[in-house]
Structure 1
């Protein structure tokens, strides 16, 4: 044992004198055969509005070699009309040099594109470039494809003269566009309106969407003649995400607005009338042949002339408002599809409310009317609303919810008329002054919700939801003809007897 300690000391000293051993994965190879691999062969940006940067796209770069490689240059040459920025290891720029990737490791490259205006082309255009990686004298490339488009930009616009938004280029709203109280904004058929996060179209005067458009034949569900309102995020993951923008808001001074052949989606509110002081005449909005869907559940606080009100999202929300709605689909709202309070007149003819919440566990009815609402934490004086509903559907994705509700409804039961409609309601089935088991209504059909529509989140048919009637739908051929409405949402003729809801089922 007395020789053990000197021996250990001798071995320790010898170890210090040995050359350092660097891990194999940190040794940099200069072999020209060392190649990189990539998670994508093409980095693709969907339509990018000119002058507006996109979100960053991810590209993973893999070094499958056992030793490290030094990438002498990573570059993306910006072409005329487009600027690219790279983010690599926290450093931003158009070029990165001497970037090392350890053996069997990877590198994340973020790419961002900004497209400058092109003076000539009003249609979408394509710009192609190559992201180049130079390693040990070898060049490898990944294509970068950007689809660009010119647009009209409205940043805090205040529209004080009668104006028409044309359909030749998209319109992009930042913060807001405000229609003055003495002004009319007309939007042409086929226009595309994109709103940045939180942006709103504010209407103090009159909004006319496709006011004179008369289609000559059947329209497709995504027909080019519809006016589209949605957020400005064009990536696929945002295609149906609620709450991306604020919606279309009608102020107490607005009058006689018309929204026809429009699709409004992915907003906090669809059509919101806010008139908390009950100023008369109430703002009025007529909605025809339109779709409002994917509406958020987030509660928002509004301040108007010292009045504070909290409102949750809805496809149609009226605060002392008049709405006339025909041939319209309201779908996939995280809270209400329709919410009306403090009086107002609501008329729904041939409408479909298919309220299948997709993100939240909805606990609210799809259709709610109330005679009062809290302002500054206190209830305002009650004003009874009026409702006429004919040949419509009120449905949702939970048979445990009451989809039709009236706050203090017994006090204004004489103002409510619902006929030849399909309703999901237990409370108002056949008792009391609000009982709806009359006037030709179909309540809680026992063949179940699975056969009411063609495709729903609970019974999907492929990736597309389709709220047209299923062949076994209890709403088929059960409506009473309305002489003033002879076509459906897609301009198909109403048959005899017609179908209940926004869509007329075509003959097989």
Structure 2
């Protein structure tokens, strides 16, 4: 009996709560939810509420200031809603509140909306509040509907022998949607298909965001023209075109493989790309050509491709001319050339410092066949690299795989090529294939792990370029003149920032 009385007395306090009376504290006084697109849900954010007193307390009311019309949603101790009553917190304990939002921009002329609300605790003289702030951007959403006809396509590309060809869902871009403008960002769901005899034009400053497993498919006879400009502000990049995922939170800024690919399929010709950044794709740019096709498949200049989960630039029997390119880190090769073709790369930085797992392939791989089908091979008519860098965090960053009875023409002139000493004899200098090659040394990058491949004055690439080659590409990717003393790669050396 005595034990029962003592037990009852010791537990009675669990059922008696004092009012909070304005004595709560919070992990934040303002919760900033990162930028979202209109009508797309945000990530989940957390607010922690503390009871620092010696008493168990009850919060009479927790509610959003804007009430049931608020664009915010709350979850308090596992219960979803917008208003909660009589919420207890034990002494010296805490309470978690989860916060999400989906904002609808209803004003037709508004491209952005700074939306604010507050979580209010209690009322009257004891009321406390935590502010909520979110920036929402209006966007043009492209997805299969009545205007954009849905299609299915099979992409015959494989990452390795264990994978199957990729089947994708797409939609045809009608004439009304064949020009992407810079006044609003675009959000693409599925693959936007450019059909035969159609051209997709993308204006300078455009921002294209792709949902998971989404991208652009340029079909046989179609083409794409990406018309970015040099930016005056290298932080805002107001002139460049940007392709990336549709999650705008900073935590997703460097998450690889968020979306699919830009696929230029066989039979598409005279595609042009200038000042484009492609980041965080599965395959950044996949370009197919035709056997013995001397017509240009793609001319690509002043462009950066990095952080693809497989390959940044994957070319298959294509005809590509590239100048001032930065082909950065990727899960496999940075640049993969298969099934021969025609290629010319000048002042290109191919550098793979992948740090998100194992990487088994070099930064640059060139072959007559494909990894997955070595029995079928084609002629490599030309693969020339001038005033360029082939580098990475592996000992050997180049692989050349010729096939007997097939042409395999390649050349490297005035290039830095990362190899180790034991393999140096395989890449002799002053021959028809290798001329003025640097095989070791520090490149003095700004931050290769962050795909910042600008170089400082201590770089082995400093002032090592051929002047005649540089005259054909007189300015680097940032608009700096290289005519008199060219450096290797896409960037001229500048003073490093400390």
Interval of TM-score (by shorter of Structure 1 and Structure 2): 0.7 to 0.9
Shift of 1:127: 1.4
Q: Identify if the C-alpha distance between structure 1 residues 114 and 218 changes in structure 2 by more than 3 Å, giving closer, same or farther.
A: closer
Match of residue 487, structure 1, among 470, 475, 479:
475
Show CA shifts across 1:229-255 (max 9, x none): 111111111111211111212222422
TM-score, normalization by structure 1: 0.83
Structure 1: segments with no counterpart, 5+ residues: 1-12, 297-312, 458-463
Is the 1:429–1:435 contact (alpha carbons within 8 Å) kept by the matching residues of 2?
Answer: no
| Greater gyration radius | 1
Structure 2 counterpart of 1:71: 59
Structure 1 counterpart of 2:460: 474
Q: Identify if the C-alpha distance between structure 1 residues 413 and 431 changes in structure 2 by more than 3 Å, giving closer, same or farther.
A: farther
Structure 1 counterpart of 2:47: 59
Shift of 1:179: 1.5
Shift of 1:119: 2.7
Structure 2 counterpart of 1:384: 379
Structure 2 counterpart of 1:242: 256
Match of residue 207, structure 2, among 184, 189, 192:
192
Structure 2 counterpart of 1:202: 217
Residue pairs, 1:53-452, within 5 angstroms: 53-78=41-66, 83-134=71-122, 138-156=126-144, 157-161=171-175, 163-204=178-219, 205-210=222-227, 215=230, 220=234, 222-274=236-288, 284-296=297-309, 313-373=310-370, 378-385=373-380, 386-398=382-394, 400=395, 402-408=396-402, 415-426=409-420, 431=425, 435-436=428-429, 439-445=434-440, 448-449=441-442, 451-452=443-444
Q: Identify if the C-alpha distance between structure 1 residues 19 and 161 changes in structure 2 by more than 3 Å, giving closer, same or farther.
A: closer
Q: Identify if the C-alpha distance between structure 1 residues 220 and 423 changes in structure 2 by more than 3 Å, giving closer, same or farther.
A: same
Q: Identify if the C-alpha distance between structure 1 residues 125 and 274 changes in structure 2 by more than 3 Å, giving closer, same or farther.
A: same
Is the 1:430–1:436 contact (alpha carbons within 8 Å) kept by the matching residues of 2?
Answer: no
Partner of 2:217: helix, strand, or coil? strand
Q: Identify if the C-alpha distance between structure 1 residues 14 and 108 changes in structure 2 by more than 3 Å, giving closer, same or farther.
A: closer
Residue pairs, 1:4-43, within 5 angstroms: 13-16=1-4, 20-23=8-11, 26-33=14-21, 35-43=23-31
TM-score, normalization by structure 2: 0.85
Shift of 1:282: 8.0
Which is further off, 155-164 or 435-444?
435-444
Which is further off, 282-291 or 495-504?
282-291
Is the 1:282–1:344 contact (alpha carbons within 8 Å) kept by the matching residues of 2?
Answer: no
Shift of 1:466: 3.1
Shift of 1:159: 0.7
Q: Identify if the C-alpha distance between structure 1 residues 282 and 174 changes in structure 2 by more than 3 Å, giving closer, same or farther.
A: farther
Partner of 1:229: helix, strand, or coil? strand
Structure 2: segments with no counterpart, 5+ residues: 145-170
Alignment length, in residue pairs? 462
Partner of 1:198: helix, strand, or coil? coil
Shift of 1:82: 5.8
Q: Identify if the C-alpha distance between structure 1 residues 41 and 155 changes in structure 2 by more than 3 Å, giving closer, same or farther.
A: same
Shift of 1:337: 0.4
CA RMSD across the alignment: 2.9
